[in-house]
Amino acid sequence: MKPVQVDSRILSLAAQVTESPDLDVPVLLLKIKDILTSAPPGSKESQKIKQDLYYYDLVQYCHLVLKQDYTRVPGGWVTAAQIAEIISLSCVGLEVKEEPEDFYNKLLPSAVDNLLFLDRRLQVRCSRAIKDEDRREFLQCFRTVTDAICRLCGGHVPLTKNVLQNKHFLQLLMADDVETSTRVMSVLQNILRINRGVLLQVAEKTLDCILDELVYKLSSTINPVIGSAAIKLLLSVAESDPRLVTTLTTRYKGLETLLSKQWTGKGFDRNLDQLLDLLGSENCRADETQRLHQAVCIIQAAWRGFQTRKRLKQLPKAVTTLQKNFRAKREQELQHLRKQKEEESLRQQLQLQRQRAMRLFHERQLTLLEIVHAGQVDKHMHEMEEKSALTIQRHWRAFRARRNFLQQKQSLKQYKMAVVIQKAVLKFLEKQRKRKACSLWKPPKALSDEQRLALQEKVKDYIKLHPASEMSEEMSKELHQQAQAKLAQYLMKRSLDRKAQQHREALLAQVRTYVDQLTSAPSLAEATMEDPNVYMSRSVPVVARAKQSHYTMLKYTQWPWWKKLGEEFLDDEGVSEDLLCAEVGTLFIGGTKS
């Protein structure tokens, strides 16, 4: 892969900026404009130059130097305006692929704030300028910065919200200077053209401040330049969203009268008429809405009066019902209090009984200690400890037995559910096998007339060559019956063989399960109280056989040595009825089917 080359001018400029003093940096950054204009706008080369400028932090340098005092910088405020233009040119169309959040969420909003701050400083210096040449220079710089702001908002639409919510923008809009204020209103109009719904995205307080300032300019001045710009801007605001028209008519009641009386015939009647039409239609709609509201209020008042009179007629019955419900609720609360008192008294009685019992127990112990000889005290205390231990063990064993029973009950329920599911599955598979066996035979395909004639000729030729012996009807029926019997015998044998095969597979699976469980069984040193539950059988024959084998082995261990010389002890004896009635829960290999 070929390495991407960086423009040597950018590398040289980045090196000069890092090595130069702070006052010389703005002048050096002006070279960026020549680098940007050397490539056609929108081309890949221009995009590459902008990315290199950003990744070598030259755009960030431009953003930082805007906060300097340009009275001591060569070129003065013209240099600041040119740097603002460079920022807008380098940021518009720039695609940042590495860490785009820093560019979109930090650099761009901060750049907008710095540009508006620079615009505010230029506006103040323009208003304070004494010489016409200085004023024209500041106005030119002001226009350059506002153009940079408009260009930046056009390239990044979300920045329009940041511009409107910035405090410097509101200060620029509230200025009394004619040229700068009209320029700021044109900026706001461009922003509305870029993003029509931006006024509804800002805070309500900001929107009110903007509209208040525009209406104030229309009411406090007679300058046609300011009036034309303000009316155009109000028309753009009204056309951007119908809700803003409603806000204008409801917040500024006399706006329509003010516009028609003070600004008619000033040279911009077309925009004024359009704005008056929008406000008039909204006023008519508001009047119609007000009339409808009044009619609805009258209807509601009449309906509420009717309902109130009806309710007053039913008031005695309602009072009776209310008293009844109140008495029932009070009686319920009294019963609840009585029940609480009874429970509290019962609790106190139980506590007193326990205290009396403990007191009697301690008195008996003291009495026994007085009666018992001093040498027998240790023996007596040992007996008491044994009795206490036996009581604790008895309660613990009862608790453990109940817990094991609940666990076995749940496992037995799961086992029964598994058996039911297995039966249903086996029955379904048997039906599927029968259906498949019946569907093995398929009717032959239909023959064409030519194939049928050819087969008939072959059959006739074969009959002529191999004449068959004649067979009576009784012999044919007997032969048919024999064939049917052999077929039925074959089908029956095949079904039995299939069942035997399934039985063998089930036994093999069961044996494999036994082997796996036996091989994975823990040693006696590692076994816990819950491990024997895995090997408990639910099958009565298995239980009986296990008990019989255990009984035989016990009997064998009790025989004398001369009886153990033979193998008579291996003969099975009859199983008793008690063994056959063994309960579920005896030792077994898990997986045994009942």
What tens digit of pLDDT does each residue of 280-334 get? 776 666 666 777 888 888 899 899 988 888 888 888 888 888 888 999 999 999 9
The tens digit of pLDDT for each residue in 71-98 reads 777 778 888 888 888 888 888 877 777 7
Label residue 401 by pLDDT band (50, 70, 90).
Answer: confident
For residue 532, the 8-state DSSP code is G
Label residue 468 by pLDDT band (50, 70, 90).
Answer: low
The tens digit of pLDDT for each residue in 534-572 reads 776 666 777 788 888 888 888 888 887 777 665 544 444
DSSP-based helix, strand, coil % in the chain, nearest 5? 80, 0, 20
Of the two residues 265 and 486, the one the predictor is more confident about is: 486
Specify whether the CB–CB gap between 573 and 553 falls below 8 A. no
Q: First and final CA of the chain: distance in angstroms? A: 73
Residue 4 has pLDDT above 60, yes or no: no
Specify whether the CB–CB gap between 88 and 139 falls below 8 A. no
3-class secondary-structure state, position 372:
coil
Q: Which two tokens stand for residue 517?
A: 């469980």
**pTM reported for the whole predicted model:** 0.48
Label residue 585 by pLDDT band (50, 70, 90).
Answer: very low
Label residue 39 by pLDDT band (50, 70, 90).
Answer: confident
Instruction: State the DSSP H helix or E strand holding residue 495, giving kind and residue range, or none if neither.
Output: helix 473-519
Q: Which two tokens stand for residue 530?
A: 């819950």
Residue 232 has pLDDT above 70, yes or no: yes
Average pLDDT over the chain reads 79
Of the two residues 496 and 560, the one the predictor is more confident about is: 496
The tens digit of pLDDT for each residue in 101-119 reads 877 888 888 888 888 888 8
Of the two residues 227 and 7, the one the predictor is more confident about is: 227
Spacing of C-alpha 468 from chain mean position: 84
Percentage above 70 pLDDT, the chain: 89
Per the DSSP assignment, residues forming a β-bridge with 586 are: 537
Amino acid identity of residue 537, one-letter, is S
Residue 342 has pLDDT above 90, yes or no: yes
Residue 592 has pLDDT above 70, yes or no: no
Lowest mean pLDDT among 188-192, 403-407, 480-484, 514-518: 514-518
The tens digit of pLDDT for each residue in 345-366 reads 999 999 999 899 889 888 887 8
Of the two residues 4 and 165, the one the predictor is more confident about is: 165
Given this model, what pLDDT does residue 580 score? 43
Give the mean pLDDT of 61-79.
79
3-class secondary-structure state, position 175:
coil
Pair type for strands 586-587 and 536-537? antiparallel
Amino acid identity of residue 127, one-letter, is S
Given this model, what pLDDT does residue 587 score? 41
d(CA 124, CA 77): 13
Compute how many other C-beta atoms are within 10 angstroms of the C-beta atom of residue 330.
Answer: 10
Given this model, what pLDDT does residue 282 score? 64
Specify whether the CB–CB gap between 14 and 58 falls below 8 A. yes
Residue 591 has pLDDT above 80, yes or no: no
d(CA 480, CA 474): 10
Say how many residues make up the chain: 594
Lowest mean pLDDT among 306-315, 336-345, 370-379: 370-379
Q: Is 411 exposed, middle or buried (0-12, 13-18, 19+ CB in 10 A)?
A: middle
Most confident of 227-241, 358-372, 414-428, 525-539: 414-428
If phi > 0 it is left, if psi is from -120 to 50 it is alpha, else beta; for residue 591 that is left
Most confident of 68-77, 183-192, 435-444: 183-192
Given this model, what pLDDT does residue 1 score? 34
Interior angle at CA 431, CA 425 and CA 432, nearest 5: 85
d(CA 338, CA 345): 10
Given this model, what pLDDT does residue 538 score? 65
Given this model, what pLDDT does residue 593 score? 39
Comparing CA positions, the residue from 277, 264, 204, 267 lying closest to residue 238 is 277
Distances from the Cα of 472 to the Cα of 281, 467, 469, 478, angstroms = 111, 16, 10, 10
Lowest mean pLDDT among 379-388, 527-536, 569-578: 569-578
Give the mean pLDDT of 166-192.
82
What does the buried/exposed string (b/e) look like for 12-33 if buried means 16 or more CB atoms within 10 Å of the residue's CB? ebbeebeeeeeeebbebbbbbe
Give the mean pLDDT of 16-32.
78
Label residue 442 by pLDDT band (50, 70, 90).
Answer: low
Specify whether the CB–CB gap between 521 and 587 falls below 8 A. no
Most confident of 201-215, 236-250, 388-402: 388-402
Given this model, what pLDDT does residue 37 score? 80
Comparing CA positions, the residue from 114, 181, 178, 183 lying closest to residue 152 is 114
Per the DSSP assignment, residues forming a β-bridge with 536 are: 587
Specify whether the CB–CB gap between 48 and 6 falls below 8 A. no
Given this model, what pLDDT does residue 352 score? 92
Given this model, what pLDDT does residue 42 score? 73
Label residue 579 by pLDDT band (50, 70, 90).
Answer: very low
